[in-house]
Amino acid sequence: MKRGALRAFMVKEFRHILRDRQTLTILLLMPLVQVVLFGFALRSDVRDIRLAIVDPSPDNATIALRNRFVASTRFRIVSISQTASAIEPLFRRGEADVALVFEPSFASHLASRTEPAHLLLTVDASDPNTGTVMQSYSRAVISSYDAELAAAALPPGRTVRIATETRMRFNPTLESVNLFVPGLIALVLTLVSALMTAISLSREKERGTMEVLLVSPLRPWQIIVGKVLPYLGLAFANVLTALLAAWLVFHVPFRGSVLLLLGESVLFAIVSLAIGVLIAARTSTQRAAMLAAMLVTMLPSTLLSGMLFPIASMPAWLAPFTSIVPARWFIVIARGIMLKGVGLPYLWRETLVLIVMAALLMAAAVRSFKPRLA
Amino acid sequence: MNPNALAISAHGLTCRFGSFVAVDHITFDVGAGEVFGFLGANGAGKTTAIKMLIGLLAPSDGEARVAGFDVGTERAQIRRNIGYMSQRFSLYNDLTVRENIQLYGGIYGLSDAQLRDRTAALLESLGLSESAGDLVGRLPLGWKQKLAFSVALLHEPKIVFLDEPTGGVDPITRRQFWEMIYAAAARGTTVFVTTHYMDEAEYCDRISIMVDGRIAALGTPAALKAQYEVDTVDDLFVRLARGATVTA
């Protein structure tokens, strides 16, 4: 029985990976740490909104609305006063985020057919994003109360005056962690695939072992496949870890097919691996390969993929460039599968883009890997 | 000489990098089973010439055949017939002695039985049987070089290329290394070895001395010493190299 050259080479690669315990531990723990850190730190939803209430004439109507805020898990009432002058110092000292001011005749206006009941909602918008989010949460509480009054037809014939309906589709609780997890999977896959392949290939060049491999009967594609497959396995493990962490720690829903997501992850990993090979072909030291991989894959995958910043809000000249970032397409796919539960009929275009990218980049990678070293 | 008996033949082999001519029309033959010393100062073009012969660099001009195959068009056949020990250490420090042997045995397509027998013989002859499970990185340099040489011979190539195999190695190990080279040659392996230790040149059947990309002298050590009326290859080398700096 002849031993396969490719098999022997892959056994060696697995040994390299398994023997370098520190790197392996870091690589295996990375998705876990990233999901947990990003999940807690990088969320745009707001919790524990400190609410100050000014209620000049407390009665059943105002207390009913106040209780709505108490019942909502997001708000915490920090102050109840009778005059609006109490609010200003609270805002200045940063002790309140939102103030709700009832007009003195709130209850009677609410009961009347003609005059609307007035509410003043003041929001600390020093951070505009947080401010907007807090405003919409507050309005959601108020309008749900208003709609309920209307539904109870009290008083008869009254129509809904504030009909602000804030519905957050696919993410009804505005959980930003749900949006980050698909992006994190892309990031981890890029890191393991592109970065580690680039480092491992350029290490062979730096140490001089690549020459010996190229002089051996191993074909260039065998060297590439032998390098890439073990990392593909590692990438696969990382996707599962990230999904498991997201599900256990943040209860991120998984609405679509796990198999489809794993398949798409493999496709995306192949694209990244090819980029890693291309980087290694153009660099001669591990350090250069690592920096190049950071620049070419990690930065665009984080900043231009729509993971952190919506592509719609990028300047017009920049947006087209996101199309060449593979992570941008993968994130659409992963979000579609995980959060919307859609399948290939809705995601075939993004999938096709990744397939074309994988084919082109792999072909370029094998070509760049000429047996002759200049 | 019967052309089939030639392990290596080069005719006008040239390598240019831009306007710099690293190897300038070198012509030589190496017979099968010969120990051929390829000498030259650092930067004379030895490594570049080797890289063309083993298919790592495309010749800019001229032609060469290795084991009867053309270096330009028949690289795949050449690779199966040669062993190569590069200037830099070619084994993996984070793999054990046995794992390194298994890797190269596998790459060169040895059967399980062949690999088992040759691994045992190799470890036995190097006295490394006890250390088969040790990481190569922990071995002393001399052992590493001897192991690398044995691994390059594992698939029993017709020709083995050794690029400065004894660099940085102590004199006793160098002596042992040359005993290994003789043993390989006695089994019929052609040995193409570069070195800049001129005493080692005396061990070779024939030598060539490269100066500034050209072959300045070619022949048996004894014949060359007689021709240039010097006592040692070292003196010969200095004379040729000095001539080069004068003309340059």
**B94 with A207: Cβ contact below 8 A:** no
For residue B91, the model assigns a pLDDT of 92
Digit-coded pLDDT (tens) for A188-211: 888 888 998 999 999 998 888 988
List residues bridging with B161 in a β-sheet.
B84, B192
For residue A153, the model assigns a pLDDT of 53
Above 80 in pLDDT, residue A160? no
Minimal Cα–Cα distance from A216 to chain B, Å? Answer: 6
**pLDDT band at residue A92, thresholds of 50, 70 and 90?**
confident
Query: Is the whole model's pTM more than 0.80, yes or no?
Result: no
Task: Specify which of A119-133, A178-192, A298-312, B170-184 reaches the highest per-range mean pLDDT.
Answer: B170-184
For residue A152, the model assigns a pLDDT of 67
Backbone angles phi, psi at A75, to 5 degrees: -105, 150
**Mean pLDDT on B192-214:** 89
List helix spans (H) across B55-197: 75-81, 97-107, 112-126, 141-152, 171-186
Residues of A in contact with B112 (CB under 8 A): 1, 3
**Mean pLDDT on A123-131:** 73
- CA pair distance B14, B112, nearest whole angstrom: 41
By the 8 A CB rule, do A279 and A367 touch?
no
**A211 with B84: Cβ contact below 8 A:** yes
Digit-coded pLDDT (tens) for A245-277: 888 888 888 888 989 999 999 999 999 999 999
Residues of B in contact with A207 (CB under 8 A): 88-89
For residue B247, the model assigns a pLDDT of 43
ipTM for this prediction: 0.88
Backbone angles phi, psi at A81, to 5 degrees: -140, 175
Residues of B in contact with A11 (CB under 8 A): 102-103, 106
Residues of B in contact with A4 (CB under 8 A): 106
Inter-chain Cβ pairs, chain A and chain B, closer than 8 A: 91
- Burial tier of A317 (Cβ tally within 10 Å: 0-12, 13-18, 19+): exposed
Above 50 in pLDDT, residue A174? no
**Mean pLDDT on A307-322:** 81
Which residue type does A210 have? M
Three-state DSSP state, A156 = coil
Determine which of A56-70, B135-149, B176-190 has the lowest per-residue pLDDT on average: A56-70
B-chain residue closest to A372, CA distance: B56
**Mean pLDDT on A46-52:** 84
Domain A49-169, CATH number (from 3.60.15.10, 3.30.930.10, 3.40.1710.10, 3.40.50.800): 3.40.1710.10
Q: Which of B173, B149, B175 is nearest to B83 (CA)?
A: B149
The two tokens of residue A270 are 């192949």
Minimal Cα–Cα distance from A271 to chain B, Å? Answer: 27
Domain boundaries in chain A?
49-169, 176-368
For residue A167, the model assigns a pLDDT of 38
What does pLDDT average to over chain A? Answer: 83
Three-state DSSP state, A246 = helix
A-chain residue closest to B71, CA distance: A372
**Closest to A2 (Cβ–Cβ): which among B57, B99, B109?**
B109
Question: Which candidate in B74, B75, B87, B103 is best for mutational testing of the A interface (most A CBs within 10 A)?
Answer: B103
**B88 with A207: Cβ contact below 8 A:** yes
**Closest to B111 (Cβ–Cβ): which among A2, A15, A373?**
A2
Above 90 in pLDDT, residue A90? no
- CA pair distance A257, A209, nearest whole angstrom: 43
Above 80 in pLDDT, residue B67? yes
What percentage of chain B exceeds 70 in pLDDT?
A: 96
Residues of B in contact with A369 (CB under 8 A): none
Digit-coded pLDDT (tens) for B94-141: 999 999 999 999 999 899 999 999 999 999 999 998 999 999 999 998
Residues of B in contact with A216 (CB under 8 A): 79, 104, 107-108
By the 8 A CB rule, do B142 and B173 touch?
yes
**Mean pLDDT on B23-49:** 91
Q: Does B247 touch chain A (CB under 8 A)?
A: no
